[in-house]
Structure 1
Amino acid sequence: MKKVSILVPELSVMQAIADPRYLFTSVNQFLAAAGKQPLFDVQLVGYESEIKLNDGLFTVHPDKVLKEVTQTNLIIIPALAGNMETAVAANQNLVPWIVSQYNGGAEVASLCVGAFLLASTGLLSGKKCSTHWNFANKFREMFPDVEVVDGSIVTEENRLYSSGGASSYWNLLLHLVEKYTDRETAILASKYFAIDIDRNSQAAFALFQGQKDHNDAAIKTAQEYIESNYYDKITVDQLAEKVCIGRRSFERRFHKATKNSVLEYVQRVKIEAAKRSIETSRKNINEVMFEVGYTDTKAFRTVFKKLTGLTPVEYRNKYNKLAQKKVPLTVT
């Protein structure tokens, strides 16, 4: 049997511990119903025999403590909660065991912001990783040697797996089920848990809020100008002149502070405004396009899909209630 060790870290999300346990034990039941042998030996594993979560609201009693698990096949690191630096620091006692098991042949999967704990082991150094879109910049700040794959639902490299944000971790769990069993069982599990098995991007859920957690006042001024004037044509020279910085220096400082080039930032602000308009108004796509400063339909559609994973029409059909109710919306 495949030994699945679901970690119970301090400062972690209860659902991200319970869900993988529920899934893998359910798959055992599916296999038994089909006349097959159960495949997974599922255990909750913690540093201690009792771990309190949510300020003591929940108490988890792991099946095993770390020292009792000398060998496992798959380690699942659930999402952490609260301040990521604090949560990672609180769980450094798990790191040597994770590294030892990985070096012994185990696979390791992090769910959502569990990627922060996985990255703290050093195993992700020089590799790719997925995490919650809202924590991507913080992740880059804490682990600059790891490549964050923006918008990705599942990333796999060298027996290390990671997932996008929140419920996206179900897609990673299904991916692992398919790997260890077969496509048929994974599809059965996806139907049982009502999960879209082939969803491959979390981009449609992302909100661009700008990266202002920095101390460069001139760049903040430029960001605020972009966000207040996104409907106009904004050039790098115009912004550099506004904050009295040479162009090359401005571009370098802007990227360092925001983790985006100036063009990328302008595009993201424009598309975020377009998304809000598409979600809440009866305007057709061309009206929204002109409203946020685009005049080329192809360029707008290309950038929109690049940043959201959906075309403007697909996005409208997904998020606009009027479109869902089939109320006519003029679209060109």
Structure 2
Amino acid sequence: MTQYHIAVVAYQDCLLSAAYGFAEIFELANEACQAASLPTHLTTHQLSEKEIQAASWDKQYKDAFHAILLPPSLNQASYSQTNPIIKDFLIHQHRHGAILCSACAGAFFLADTGITDKRVMTTHWALESALRERFPKQPVDTSKILINQGDVITAGGMMSWVDLALELVQALTNTHIVRQLGKTLVIDTGKREQRYYQQFQPSFDHGDGAILKVQHHLQGDYAHVQRTDTMAQLAKLTPRTFLRRFAKSTGLNPNEYLQRLRIQVACDTLEQTTLPFETIALQVGYDDVGSCRKAFRKITGLTPSAFRQRFVSPLTH
């Protein structure tokens, strides 16, 4: 019998549904392994910060874990600063072969170790800017729900802890067990992307009044052609200075920003109306419907029809 010991770090204000849910999914995996005569067993250990600190010199916990899981959190204060106890624990466990795994805000603990400085990781799309600001060397791709790099696995959205649990089960057992779990839990075990659910939420609190003025203008006039020199005049800046400050404040150049804004409006319109996409494309400012369709797929990862099918109830049609 192969025994795998998995630690769930139940830090202060972590999402309890995830902390306990991990253990429940792994127990269901054990039942599936038993039914399939697979000699594998997953044992879950839920550890608080106090337990980690108290066990720091205990051989039982020092080298025992095959994987460490960092759940999501609803409280920014719980992950916005360095936690030396958890940081040292993660570094030590990784050095001894543990797979480090995070879901949503758990990525902040993982990034704080420095282990992922050259690894692309994901987190909840709404936390991307905060993660980049705190860890500027950290590569981030929030279009992905899950990124598995063998010894480091990161998952994106609030409920991505389920995806993370299934991915770890896959790594420690096999595909048959994961499929059986999907049937038992009645969930889709197929691949998804976080960008299907991502919304464009531009930052307005950067403190640059000139750029903010242009942003407000674009919010109300996104459907019309926006020339860089005209936007620079509105900001009362030279075009070169405007481009530099716009990118610094928003993380995008003006054309990218406008495209993201238009596609977000298109997404909202697809969800809220029954208008054909051709009409929506014209309304948001595209003369060429093909170009709008291409931009839509690039940003959301779905065609307009697939987007509507995924997010709109048939009763609304």
TM-score bracket for the superposition, by shorter chain length: over 0.9
Partner of 1:80: 73
Does residue 264 in structure 1 map to residue 266 in structure 2?
no
Partner of 2:182: 190
Quote the offset at 1:205 in angstroms. Answer: 1.1
Partner of 1:125: 117
Partner of 2:289: 297
Quote the offset at 1:169 in angstroms. Answer: 2.6
Partner of 1:213: 205
Structure 2's unaligned 5+ residue stretches are: none
Task: Name the amino acid aligned to 2:13.
Answer: L
* CA–CA distance in structure 1, aligned partners of residues 316 and 157 of structure 2: 30
Task: Name the amino acid aligned to 1:307.
Answer: I
Does residue 274 in structure 1 map to residue 266 in structure 2?
yes
* 1:197-254, Cα deviation, whole Å (9 max, x unpaired): 1233011211212112311111111111111101111122221111111112211111
Partner of 1:149: 141
Structure 1's unaligned 5+ residue stretches are: 50-61, 328-332
Quote the offset at 1:101 in angstroms. Answer: 0.8
* CA–CA distance in structure 2, aligned partners of residues 150 and 233 of structure 1: 29
Partner of 1:34: 36
Contact 1:77 1:114 in 2 (8 A): yes
**SS in structure 2 opposite 1:24?**
helix
Contact 1:129 1:149 in 2 (8 A): yes
Q: Flag the 1:266–1:281 CA change in 2: closer, same or farther, 3 A.
A: same
Does residue 167 in structure 1 map to residue 159 in structure 2?
yes
* CA–CA distance in structure 2, aligned partners of residues 236 and 168 of structure 1: 39
Moved more, 133-142 or 168-177: 168-177
Q: State the percentage of identical aligned residues.
A: 25
Could you list the runs of 4 or more consecutive aligned residues of structure 1 that deviate by over 4 angstroms after TM superposition? Answer: 64-67
* CA–CA distance in structure 2, aligned partners of residues 276 and 2 of structure 1: 45
Does residue 311 in structure 1 map to residue 303 in structure 2?
yes
Q: Flag the 1:142–1:193 CA change in 2: closer, same or farther, 3 A.
A: same
**SS in structure 2 opposite 1:2?**
strand
* CA–CA distance in structure 1, aligned partners of residues 205 and 187 of structure 2: 35
Partner of 2:126: 134
Query: How many residue pairs were aligned?
Result: 311
* CA–CA distance in structure 2, aligned partners of residues 266 and 194 of structure 1: 39
Compute the RMSD of aligned alpha carbons: 1.8
* 1:78-97, Cα deviation, whole Å (9 max, x unpaired): 1133125x534373321101
Q: Flag the 1:169–1:124 CA change in 2: closer, same or farther, 3 A.
A: same
TM-score, length of structure 1 as denominator length: 0.88
Q: Flag the 1:14–1:66 CA change in 2: closer, same or farther, 3 A.
A: farther
Give the counterpart of 2:194 among 174, 179, 202.
202
Partner of 2:168: 176
**SS in structure 1 opposite 2:153?**
strand
Contact 2:79 2:106 in 1 (8 A): no
